[in-house]
Chains A and B, each alone.
Chain A
Amino acid sequence: MKELERSFYSKASMYSFIVVVILFFSIWVGTGQFTKVGWMKFGYMVSSFIFFIGITVRLTAWLMRPATHEVMKRTIQNMKTTKRQKRNVKAIVKTLVDNIILQKFIFKRGIYRGIQHWLIAWGCIGSLAITFGLVFGWMHFRLVDATTYQLVVFNIPTITMHPDGIFAQLVFNGLNIAAAMLLVGLIMAIARRIKNHDLKVTERAEFDLFPLYLLLAVTVSGLLLTVSFKLLDGWMHSTIALVHQITVVIFLVYFPFGKLFHLPIRPMAAAVPMNYQETVQVDTKECIGCHKPYSNDDQIADVQQMLGNQAFDLKMKDGNHPSDYCPACRRMLRVMNHLNIKSPVGEVAEEPVQTNNGIHIPGFGRRRAESFYAQSVKEEK
């Protein structure tokens, strides 16, 4: 791997290259050696490539962050340990069902938010899946005879269906169903953004609002296509198709670099029950100050490793790290140090933790105006 990596400019470019090759190969297989490429969808195809390259670059950069790297290292290590297999499978299945498919934790933040997010999330995932499936030719439909349609996946003929059957209607209207879900979710989300003033504290137009309006443009123009050929006899169909293509291209190019990037990183939530807290709110490691459980050994080891890798020197006088104490003891230790009281649970470092990293030096390090010194001299007298 190291040899291969050296022949590329960077890790990100290597992985991007691999992803592009795989995608290209999948098109080659899916379209029967490029015989059935939908050239109508060429714009979508180019932006889909940008989408996948963007995701790969972002994910590579994200995995290189010291904290992420540490968590992934422990995850891979635990995956390889035969003793933990039962816990691993349980963690992955539980995260997949509770966290990703049902999104229970968002419903706990509010039913409204839960419904809104679930609709947008599955509308997006559904329509992305159909889009990539059609654009890369991973699946297409074939007419077997006058009343039979067949779904062809990766050039392998699969299920057959009657074109007027319920299943066929569901498949043909997949994008419309996803768009309807999206439309409801988006209207709910935009209404929440307008009504709820608490959200404006940290709201950023380019981060929180732009993706909403962009998705709305994609959804509405997509649904208008159906309206156009079903109800209006194809009125303005080609214009709407072009507008839809433009919005989708912007969406696909934007996806890896904005708010929606939280989708590909979500599966890492499985690392929490897998590596750290097997059952929610059950801690196993005791605080060395108050002897109450507050965490577990693996997590504290990881946190200390991450801080060490990033040149944080938080070691205290007694040789412990602040993370060996529970948060309440940590707060108490710090205050006791500042009030010049000897703490019964441990000795803190002589130097207070620097929170300003030399960017600002407290105390006399900063030269002030002459009048300031004159005043303090006067006060001393």
Chain B
Amino acid sequence: MKKIMYLEFERCIGCRSCQAACRECGGHDAKERNYVEYVDFLESRQTFPMMCMQCKDPACARVCPANAIQITDDGVVLSAMEEKCIGCRNCTFGCPFGIPKFDFEENKMYKCDMCYDRTKHDIAPMCASVCPSDAIRFIDHDEMMELRRKRTQLNLIEGKKPSENNKWQYVPEFFGVYSD
């Protein structure tokens, strides 16, 4: 997998087409695995999309007592294996980003797997392929780095809080898995 996911939260217009697309993805069982939520509903109607970061060392897998959360060769963190998951919900509490969802009826956890069947062939995941405002993008590493570089410069010009030392912490996140 050569491409990565890139999120720009303020581009989100709250249309929720990413969630509709997620429900359509193979193996997702008509349940969305991503989130579109209000940043601060009392202040503005700004929404943000949220997907799994596909951590290299996932906290969800580390707190799973059944060793049910597996990582593919490409580095995609999959939903808990249905046969192993004992339904303790530790992963939903261990994840620092609040990503895994839990189905009490079927007693299993499910989470964003970056549409593994698509991204392993470098096809954009469902959410990125439908996003009308480019809040979710599936792009090359170089393209992403350029976008981020521009953002840091913009942030500095506008006199926001970031300084030269920590400006990389105030740019949109990129994630996903890629190899050089």
Contacts and interface: CB of A to CB of B under 8 A. Distances in A.
A341 B39 contact: yes
In which size bucket is the chain A interface?
35 or more
Contacts of B40: 332, 336, 341, 344
A300 B93 CA distance: 7
Interface string B26-41: 1101000001010110
Contacts of B9: 335, 338-339
B104 A306 contact: no
A331 B35 contact: yes
A307 B59 contact: yes
A62 interface: yes
A308 B99 CA distance: 20
Nearest to A361: B168
A271 B86 contact: yes
B37 A198 contact: no
Given A276-B88, A330-B98, A340-B160, A201 B63 contact: no
Contacts of B96: 314, 322-323, 330, 334, 353
B102 to A, nearest CB: 10
Contacts of B160: 340
Contacts of A89: none
A105 B97 contact: no
B39 to A, nearest CB: 6
Contacts of B83: 259, 262
Nearest to B100: A327
Nearest to B105: A108
* Chain B interface residue number, banded: 35 or more
Nearest to A335: B48
Given A197-B26, A307-B94, A339-B9, A105 B107 contact: yes
A278 interface: no
Interface in B126-174: 142, 145, 149, 153, 160-162, 166, 168-170, 172-174
B16 interface: no
A269 B65 CA distance: 10
Interface string A291-304: 00001000110110
A136 to B, nearest CB: 28
A165 interface: no
B39 A355 contact: no
A202 B116 contact: yes
B95 A265 contact: no
A65 interface: yes
B65 A198 contact: no
Contact of A376 (B37, B86, B149, B170): B149
B10 A339 contact: yes
A314 B108 CA distance: 26
Given A202-B116, A271-B88, A299-B93, A328 B98 contact: yes
A323 B105 CA distance: 24
Contacts of A363: 168
Nearest to A366: B145
A222 to B, nearest CB: 24
Contact of B86 (A268, A300, A325, A327): A268
Interface string A346-373: 0000111101110110111000100010
Given A65-B67, A335-B39, A201 B106 contact: no
Contact of A310 (B37, B62, B162, B168): B62
B117 interface: yes
Contacts of A108: 105-107
Contacts of B55: 355-357
23 contacts: A72-B65, A108-B106, A109-B106, A197-B26, A201-B26, A201-B27, A265-B86, A269-B86, A303-B94, A327-B92, A327-B98, A330-B95, A330-B97, A330-B98, A331-B99, A334-B96, A338-B170, A338-B172, A339-B9, A352-B173, A363-B168, A364-B168, A380-B153
The 9 A-B residue pairs whose C-beta atoms are closest, nearest first, are: A327-B98, A330-B98, A105-B107, A363-B168, A355-B55, A201-B27, A322-B96, A71-B65, A269-B86
Given A323-B93, A338-B9, 17 more contacts: A67-B62, A67-B63, A67-B65, A71-B88, A109-B108, A198-B26, A202-B78, A262-B81, A262-B84, A277-B89, A295-B93, A302-B90, A325-B98, A338-B173, A351-B169, A355-B56, A376-B149
